[in-house]
């Protein structure tokens, strides 16, 4: 669990980081930080309008960014929401409810899962065979749904797999997903994804396919 950070969103001014108690989009009150990675932080939050707990993904826009890079990050947030909405009824895919732009920075409003990631679980040691089978089966179902909708995830890795306290297994983070017929959101000459899980064709800079996701799962 990460400690809460110490910069405010209040008064309409976003600084480098947010803190517990801040309100995003006029309705989502940050409760505590629950995870962080290279691109941002995930918060437990409270939807003051619906009186329900949600998760908010804060995409970091650290320091002054060129307009093109800022636009790309905003597009990534919108892309994740659009991809996830198409898959929102699947029991093994994290539901995305909304995207909020707070002073030019994107926040993705998601289903809150009580539990942790597969990456966190693996820190305690290898999974039993029965658990491996359950994880593989759930993720195959999730990827099958995505692929049937023409969506390639492109970043299947333990950090993007949620394991709920109730045993549910869900795939999240469709922020760099792409149509199977295209390259999606990327930069010229850049390969987006996590190196240890990249399929060979992705590492070579070729567009991802459904088979690339299956390689990453394997």
Which sequence positions are flagged as catalytic?
Answer: 155
- Residue 72, classed as helix, strand or coil, is helix
CA–CA separation, 96 vs 52, rounded Å?
14
Q: Say if CB 96 and CB 85 are below 8 A apart.
A: yes
Smallest CA-to-CA distance from 94 within 106, 81, 107 is with: 81
CA–CA separation, 134 vs 98, rounded Å?
29
State the DSSP string of 105-161: EEEEEE---SEEEHHHHHTT-PPPHHHHHHHHHHHHHHHHHHHHTTEE-S--SGGGE
């Amino acid at each position: 669990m990460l400690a809460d950070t110490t910069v405010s969103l209040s008064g309409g001014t976003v600084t480098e980081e947010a803190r517990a108690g801040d309100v995003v989009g006029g309705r989502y009150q940050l409760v505590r930080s629950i995870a962080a990675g290279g691109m941002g932080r995930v918060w437990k939050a409270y939807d003051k309008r619906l009186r329900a707990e949600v998760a908010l993904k804060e995409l970091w826009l650290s320091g002054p960014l060129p307009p093109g890079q800022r636009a790309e990050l905003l597009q990534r947030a919108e892309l994740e929401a659009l991809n996830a909405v198409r898959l929102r009824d699947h029991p093994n895919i994290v539901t995305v409810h909304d995207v909020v732009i707070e002073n030019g920075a994107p926040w993705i409003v998601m289903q809150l899962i009580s539990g942790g990631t597969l990456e966190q679980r693996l820190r305690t040691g290898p999974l039993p065979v029965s658990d491996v089978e359950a994880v593989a089966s759930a993720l195959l179902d999730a990827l099958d749904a995505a692929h049937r909708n023409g969506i390639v995830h492109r970043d299947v890795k333990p950090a993007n797999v949620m394991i709920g306290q109730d045993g549910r297994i869900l795939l999240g983070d469709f922020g760099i997903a792409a149509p199977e017929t295209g390259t999606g959101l990327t930069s010229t000459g850049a390969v987006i994804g996590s190196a240890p899980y990249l399929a060979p064709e992705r590492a070579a800079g070729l567009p991802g396919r459904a088979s690339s996701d299956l390689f990453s799962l394997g």
